[in-house]
Amino acid sequence: MVSSTSPVQKTVQKKSFVQVAQASDVQAAGVMVVQTKGHSIALFYHQEKIHAIDNRCPHMGFPLHKGSVKDCVLTCHWHHARFDVTSGGAFDIWADDGRAFPVDVREGSVRVDLTPREDAEDYQHKRLVDGLEQGLSLVIAKSVIAQLAAGKGATAAFQTGLDFGIRYRRDGWGVGLTIHTCMMQLMPYLNTTDRPRALYHGLSAVARDCAGEPPRFAIQPLPETPANFQTLKGWFRQFIEVRDAQGAERCLASAVESGVEVTQLADMLFAAVTDHRFIDGGHALDFTNKALEALDHAGGENAAGILTSLVHGYAQAERMEESNAWRYPIDLVAILDRAFEALPEAILAGRDNRENAKRERVKKEHTKSLETTFSTNFSTNNDATVEQLVAILLGEDPAAIATHLLEALRQGCTTADLAGIVAYAAALRIAQFQTNNDFSDWDTAHHTFTFANAVHQGLKRSPSDELVRGIFDAAMAIYLNRFLNVPPARLPKPENQVDKPDELLHELSEQLNRQQRVNAVGNLVGTYLYSGGDPAGLISALGQLMLREDRDFHVIQSLEAAVQQYQHWQNHQAGIHVLVATARYLAAHSPTMRSQGQTYEIAARLQKGDRMYEED
């Protein structure tokens, strides 16, 4: 007698049974494939029961009816993944679970229940967690695609990855969470169809970074401490100074527990991370900026967990005072120390100048505050001022660089705008990178640019006087990188224009299919923008071209930082140079094997219901 099978149903809902075959035919054939309502279903007759399962192997879509069943274990012969034929559950976790359908046999007819899962949202969340825990990029991709296709925004999946990353990596914040946050930052600039792919890459990076790592256990705040914020900040900096991560973490956790505003927490972190020069090659400050951006995306949830994950990196970081390059033949640290002694006076003088200018303008025109206009004129509209300072930043005299930065502050340039100018100079090191350099030198220029961008974004967030030191650190790093532009690669010329710039975006894709098309890509991007091409279209195209490659930490950082800098410089030629720089960096690192993109494409096709390997 043929009987029915039904996977366990957690909720009772209206069934949607569809007649698909005659029981006698299935019994005679042993296995049969039926098509109904957009589903391709394999019917197996085994141990006097009929079982129904999605015919596409959840791993890569191979038709399961070509597999074999023994002892209720269905084996796909392509990669030998094994499944419980009754429930669809995979014994080989990397293959993911298949979908089994309840079967009802009545009067010789086989009916299959096509009712959608009622707990689909919870199920996809659990699958995402499984993918993160087991490092299964295919499972992560499927979950992300399904969640976004169901209209669920990216924030929930981002939060899941963020919580996982700060919990399951003892060393705290690292490459994975930085990639994850970069992808979230880039999301608004990407085409809608590329956003699930960006989220997939970010989550997969978190899973990889945590794979095999011991978990991180939080240190609790001080019990009912009366210490105020300034005391906690001082303790925090002192503990980092002596590389005491536990003491520092407890101070930071106590500050969060006491209800300190995020702006003050940022000030606390920025002070400690710039107490020494260019620590960890710039990564520590960039990670700090990304952690704060992640906290923004998380709506302020779990501030203690997110921010304390940075502390281990601070305490263990290399300090450039310990580096020969920063000490000899010119002692850059000594130059900076002298500049920092003059820094409070320069900042105060600049504030006074801005206030005086504001009062004079109000007196003369009875109009709104001039502070924003004054600083904007200095940083974005006064080409001569910007070009003069950039020329000094790219020059050969580190003492002169420090002197001119101090003078710019005295004249009234805001710290954030000055940081933007330094970030632009750092981008020019990449835009004019000489391809005869060693390939690893790309990263030298890149680290300075992302550090400078982090200083800029940090000062926009929290006007920390201590963080201003980061402007000077970035400037010294730019000085040290001067050999990368010997001779400088030529920047695209404004007179090189075309009538139909949009056609260049297709050519850009083709150029990045070939290795080391650095100069060609830089010139193409410059021509596109000088010809009136849409910058938003270019940014989304660069994002798409980055996402088709296998993940490269620095490429992702570079594009995200360039997009942030472009928002600042979009009305200035500097904005064009910034996008030229990031396009050249992408070209230097393309193409890759693109295996991660293939995994995503498989997941996307399975989600759409494609019959990937079945014959019509």
Q: What pLDDT digit, counting tens, does each position of 520-574 carry?
A: 999 999 999 999 999 999 999 999 999 999 999 999 999 999 999 999 999 999 9
Could you tell me if 183 and 95 lie in one domain?
no
Q: What is the CATH classification number for the domain harbouring 95?
A: 2.102.10.10
Could you tell me if 103 and 35 lie in one domain?
yes
Query: Who's near 329: CB < 8 A, 6+ residues apart?
Result: none
Could you tell me if 91 and 124 lie in one domain?
no
Question: pLDDT value at position 117?
Answer: 79
Looking at residues 159-169, what average pLDDT do you find?
98
Could you tell me if 31 and 107 lie in one domain?
yes
268, part of any domain = no
61 half-sphere exposure, CB direction, 13 A CA radius = 20
What domain count does the chain have?
3
535, part of any domain = yes
Could you tell me if 191 and 206 lie in one domain?
yes
Q: Kindly tell me if the per-residue pLDDT of 369 is higher than 70.
A: no
How many angstroms from the chain centroid is the CA of residue 112? 43
Could you tell me if 26 and 107 lie in one domain?
yes
* CA–CA gap between residue 69 and residue 292 (Å, rounded): 52
Write out pLDDT tens, residues 457-492.
999 999 999 999 999 999 999 999 999 999 999 999
Write out pLDDT tens, residues 38-92.
999 999 999 999 999 999 999 999 999 999 999 999 999 999 999 999 999 999 9
Task: State both tokens at 256.
Answer: 């969060």
Could you tell me if 21 and 90 lie in one domain?
yes
* Between 369 and 61, residue with greater pLDDT: 61
Q: Is 36 helix (H, G, I), strand (E, B) or coil?
A: strand
Looking at residues 569-588, what average pLDDT do you find?
97
Task: State both tokens at 552.
Answer: 């490269």
Question: pLDDT value at position 372?
Answer: 46
133, part of any domain = yes
The pairing of beta strand 68-70 with beta strand 82-84: unpaired
Domain that holds residue 201: 120-210
Per-chain mean pLDDT for the chain: 93
Looking at residues 133-144, what average pLDDT do you find?
96
Could you tell me if 66 and 138 lie in one domain?
no
Classify residue 5 by its DSSP letter. Answer: -
Question: pLDDT value at position 297?
Answer: 98
41, part of any domain = yes
195, part of any domain = yes
488, part of any domain = no
Could you tell me if 132 and 87 lie in one domain?
no
Could you tell me if 127 and 62 lie in one domain?
no
* CA–CA gap between residue 465 and residue 467 (Å, rounded): 5
- Its pTM stands at 0.92
539, part of any domain = yes
Could you tell me if 133 and 92 lie in one domain?
no
Which band of pLDDT confidence, cut at 50, 70 and 90, is reported for residue 225? confident
Identity of the amino acid at 279: I
Peptide bond into 591 cis (omega under 30): yes
Which band of pLDDT confidence, cut at 50, 70 and 90, is reported for residue 366? low
Which band of pLDDT confidence, cut at 50, 70 and 90, is reported for residue 8? very low
Could you tell me if 131 and 101 lie in one domain?
no
Domain end among 60, 92, 113: 113
Write out pLDDT tens, residues 106-119.
999 999 999 987 78
In 3D space, the residue among 443, 456, 474 whose CA is nearest the CA of residue 569 turns out to be 456
Domain end among 187, 210, 233: 210
96, part of any domain = yes
Domain end among 113, 144, 161: 113
Which band of pLDDT confidence, cut at 50, 70 and 90, is reported for residue 164? very high
- Find tokens 């589903």 and name the residue: 39
Among 143-152, 333-342, 366-375, name the most confident range: 333-342
| Cα radius of gyration rounded to whole Å, the chain | 29
